[in-house]
Structure 1
């Protein structure tokens, strides 16, 4: 029997001891076989760890197999994404079959709970543009599920998210890949990618108007300060609102030629600051709360160099959890000078 944090649980494992809530209520009885919905149920109760009947070696083997499965699916999807994006440059024809294959693979990937942690580990700078499209699709799918969107709508959202930056293939590559600050003229050219992308989507009869709007509006902002048209939140499509959050989160947590990636918790704090007037408040709130749940039990590096473990989420300040360092407990909601610098993935 082994004690495991929720982030490492895999569907099919058997519960070794009754799982009891802080109030004394039995949540899951001993002997129960874990399903994805059961793991989510435990997460919603703030459970950080449970006892599993499997022996330590079986658990390690199962975890490695699950990570290998995620990694292989992710890399296969990335190769296909690179292929259809490169093909569009030369043929002006979007290969919808390849896009559909990636959508189906990503849909399956988001049903495996450790995906967010593993994707954060897989990021590479040299394929940022293609990975960014895939990551935005993955994060958007998670948000869509958390918003209880039906499967048909989820699939359309995934198309819009995967293709949200497709218009950038119509922008000069030297501008897209420029490591330094863009000139005003170059910025104006980059901003046209939303319209270019919209036109590419509209040229394809297999893709809906909802998908086209998600691509067109993902840089619009709640207060009307975005582009290309400066519309406010009442006119922005739901897909675009979701993609905007995923887009910013992935950009902050990825290495770029001109900046190093930040931890998921720093990215979440940036989103929190921007959700008033810039991003949709409700979508940001759900994303951050669920994201914080994923990392309960994870080992982290603090900005003071110490290594600790996230014990529980603060319901008021989800980006500032309770962390245990050795025998000390640090409440990051009170110790404002201390923050989570990085996540350690086993």
Structure 2
């Protein structure tokens, strides 16, 4: 799409940012891809920002948007079935179907410009009975976005996605009664579950076509910066880049997807949980890159408030991403200052 620079005063509701809006302090106010609304346009004008870049041919009919989303949804479902087949085959002793992994990752990279549709799709999914398979693909899609935001080139993106698709294949070796337990695992069950990253590494390393970086992404995605993770309890620079990326995406998807035994956590609750844990256990730079960028895609989402009203996310401050500004009819509610109201769920 063509990118043009225009006066903020000439912007229209529905225009889409073509580049990040960065303040003089270095703080990213809005990320590329944000769809402008009345509140954001007024905010830009009040901050004295005169010109921004937008996509000139962003306008798209409702039917075209729905078609693109439907195509992405169908493609998603097909990939989940492929991952299901791969993991089920491993469970009965078959070899890893690496060519199918490569095909999935190449197709995902092609969808990199579908960022808004990808986030919309992942925020509305319900996959009670196929969580493991959906989770592998969800983490891959989030890793694709995060890798792009970190500036990774296509070759590295493809390898990152291979690691992300395969990060949980070791669960093929975990007993079903533990893997599908409806509730929290006890200590013994959790110790068995923790072995999945080692199992996944051992499965993947049998195929000599799989690179060392991909193998490290699979093995180390549950390691923590402070050494409290598993299976090797390594820390800091000993954890590979791919593993650090996958770790963040893994946590976010696990929090925000609905399970048989728990409801989905809202993105804003997830932002807070990840940020609190992240300063000691996750790579801070990668974590903040993910949170700030993924938060921008929540603008425009409909949410249910604790007082029962339905509103729309009007703006998310980069300083307070888990307390956005919500517009309910003509009222604007700043959840950072209004402590009596909070977001309880997304409204699809």
Measure, in 2, the Cα distance between the counterparts of 1:73 and 1:311: 31
Deviations 1:24-66 (A, max 9, x none): 5x7x8x9xxx9x9x64557537662499999x9x721111111
Aligned length: 320
2-structure distance, mates of 1:312, 1:181:
36
> What is the deviation of 1:173?
1.5
The root-mean-square deviation of aligned C-alpha atoms, in Å, is: 2.7
Question: Structure 1 residue 254 and structure 2 residue 254: aligned?
Answer: no
CA contact (8 A) 1:288 1:319 kept: no
The TM-score with structure 1 as length reference comes to: 0.85
Matches within 5 A, 1:1-346: 20-21=7-8, 39-40=18-19, 44=31, 48-49=36-37, 59-113=61-115, 114-345=117-348
- TM-score, with length taken from structure 2: 0.84
- What is the deviation of 1:112? 0.7
Structure 2: stretches of 5+ with no match in the other structure:
22-29, 39-53
Label 1:52 to 1:145 Cα distance change in 2 as closer, same or farther (>3 A). closer
Tell me the distance in 2 between the aligned counterparts of 1:148 and 1:242: 13
**Contact 2:304 2:310 (C-alpha < 8 Å) held by counterparts:** yes
Does structure 2 conserve the Cα–Cα contact (< 8 Å) formed by 1:136 and 1:246?
yes
Equivalent residue of 2:130, what SS? helix
Residue 259 of structure 1, CA deviation: 1.0
CA shift, 1:197, in A, is 0.9
Tell me the CA shift for residue 19 of structure 1: 5.1
Q: Distance in 2 between matches of 1:217 and 1:337?
A: 41
Tell whether the 8 Å contact from 2:201 to 2:218 is kept in structure 1 after alignment.
yes
CA distance in 1, matches of 2:174, 2:109: 29
Query: Could you tell me how far apart the structure 2 residues matched to 1:259 and 1:147 are?
Result: 32
Greater alpha carbon shift after TM alignment, 81-90 vs 153-162 = 81-90
Distance in 2 (CA, whole Å) between partners of 1:219 and 1:331 is: 36
The Cα offsets for residues 131-150 of structure 1, whole Å up to 9 and x where unpaired, read as: 00000000011000000011
